[in-house]
């Protein structure tokens, strides 16, 4: 499967996605109006605590619901110069966590160098590992050991505990390779009950429905993965699919868009609003552009007026207290128990 960009699909363009989402003719309430109707103030950022860095769009997989439209045909990647800008920003702000994502961040040629620099700064490092990258090529076989050495938290997508549903979303054979990779991570100590080497899995629904109870799903994943494969992990993060990029294209193409958005809006939970991840993070694109979150990055919605637009300017800026840029896609993070890169929020 090719990326939407390689297919020259209309919805590969963020501007086209925004047109669908913010259609003024839609009966769906605008997110800002929903906040007001619920008696909630405009969303504002707290202190900057997390930098989420998208190292590039290249990935060894082409998942059907990828909101990054990543894949083997995507070549964009973060330059060494932008990486150095990120390191300087870390010196200026009390950021405790750096969250590395992509694509497959490990495919970036400077990935290991960058992790070593981050490690020297003493921040907690999360790698969003797709698991199969560990088995994709011999040069990646030592990744579990590399993660261990740098005490990285590994957060890995595994859409379901069965092969058929996982492979439908992530590609044929992905489940089997993911299981092999999880065993390699367990073998170096990741995910074991008393281990400090954190291995957390990400569940996202394999279709146009919302995730159920995170605790209940975690129990099922733990039971099945242990019984069927002898695999252990720490936590399961249940994440809602946001109507962006490939998932948006799927919703529109399959005529599930209106129904899915209605489900998100009907499940709006005011209690989830305060915990959304955009409040304490900045998301950095491969080209150094900065955003309130990964989703705003994909929709190319820059920080609010008066705020910097590039990571090189972040060191000398105060972004705490800024108004968060929102849109109808934000219903994805506020539905039900809420959703973030760390799972539910309410």
- Binding span for another protein by CB under 8 A among 22-30, 33-41, 53-61, 199-207: 199-207
The answer to whether 217 contacts another protein (rule: CB under 8 A) is yes
Contact flags string 15-54 toward another protein, x per CB under 8 A: ----------------------------------------
> Which is nearer to another protein, 18 or 256 (by Cβ)?
256
Q: List, in sequence order, every residue forming a beta bridge with 340; answer none if it has no partner.
A: 343
The answer to whether 213 contacts another protein (rule: CB under 8 A) is yes
- Best CA proximity match to 53, nearest among 77, 17, 18: 77
The strand ranges marked E within the chain are 50-54, 97-101, 124-129, 153-157, 199-203, 236-238, 281-284, 290-291
Element housing 34 (H / E): helix 31-37
Q: Following DSSP, what letter does each residue of 27-75 receive, concatenated? A: SSPPHHHHHHHTTPPPPB-----EEEEE-BSB-S---TT-SS--BTT--
> Which is nearer to another protein, 217 or 284 (by Cβ)?
217
Reported as half-sphere exposure (CB side, CA atoms, 13 A), residue 43 has a value of 28
> Which is nearer to another protein, 52 or 334 (by Cβ)?
334
Contact flags string 140-179 toward another protein, x per CB under 8 A: --------------------xxx-xx--------------
> Which is nearer to another protein, 210 or 320 (by Cβ)?
210
Helix (H/G/I), strand (E/B), else coil: 321 = coil
> Which is nearer to another protein, 141 or 209 (by Cβ)?
209
- Which residues contribute to the site for another protein (CB under 8 A)? 160-162, 164-165, 203, 205, 207, 209-213, 216-217, 220-221, 262
């Amino acid at each position: 499967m090719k990326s939407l960009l390689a297919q020259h699909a209309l919805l590969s363009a963020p501007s086209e996605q925004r047109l669908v989402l913010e259609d003024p003719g839609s009966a769906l309430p605008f997110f800002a109006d929903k906040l007001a109707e619920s008696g909630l103030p405009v969303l504002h950022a707290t202190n900057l605590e997390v930098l989420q860095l998208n190292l590039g769009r290249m990935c060894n997989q082409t998942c059907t619901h990828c909101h990054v439209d990543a894949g083997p045909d995507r070549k964009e990647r973060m330059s060494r110069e932008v990486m150095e800008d990120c390191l300087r920003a870390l010196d200026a702000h009390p950021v405790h966590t750096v969250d590395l994502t992509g694509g497959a961040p490990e495919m970036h040629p400077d990935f290991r160098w960058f992790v070593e620099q981050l490690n020297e700064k003493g921040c907690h490092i999360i790698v969003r590992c797709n698991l199969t990258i560990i088995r994709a090529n011999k040069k990646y076989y030592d990744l579990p050991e590399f993660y261990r050495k740098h005490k990285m938290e590994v957060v890995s997508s595994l859409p379901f505990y069965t092969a058929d549903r996982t492979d439908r979303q992530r590609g044929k054979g992905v489940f089997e390779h993911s299981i092999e990779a999880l065993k390699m991570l367990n073998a170096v100590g990741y995910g074991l009950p008393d281990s400090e080497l954190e291995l957390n899995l990400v569940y996202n629904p394999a279709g146009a429905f919302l995730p159920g109870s995170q605790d209940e799903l975690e129990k099922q994943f733990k039971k099945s993965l242990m019984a069927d494969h002898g695999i252990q992990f720490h936590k399961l993060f249940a994440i809602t699919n946001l109507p962006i990029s490939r998932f948006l294209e799927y919703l529109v193409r399959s005529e599930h868009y209106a129904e899915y958005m209605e489900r998100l809006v009907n499940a709006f939970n005011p209690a989830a609003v305060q915990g959304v991840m955009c409040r304490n993070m900045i998301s950095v694109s491969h080209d150094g552009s900065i955003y309130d979150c990964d989703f705003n990055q994909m929709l190319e919605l820059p920080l609010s007026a008066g705020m910097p637009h590039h990571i090189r300017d972040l060191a000398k800026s105060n972004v705490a207290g800024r108004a968060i840029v929102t849109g109808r896609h934000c219903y994805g993070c506020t539905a039900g128990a809420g959703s973030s890169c760390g799972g539910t929020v309410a």
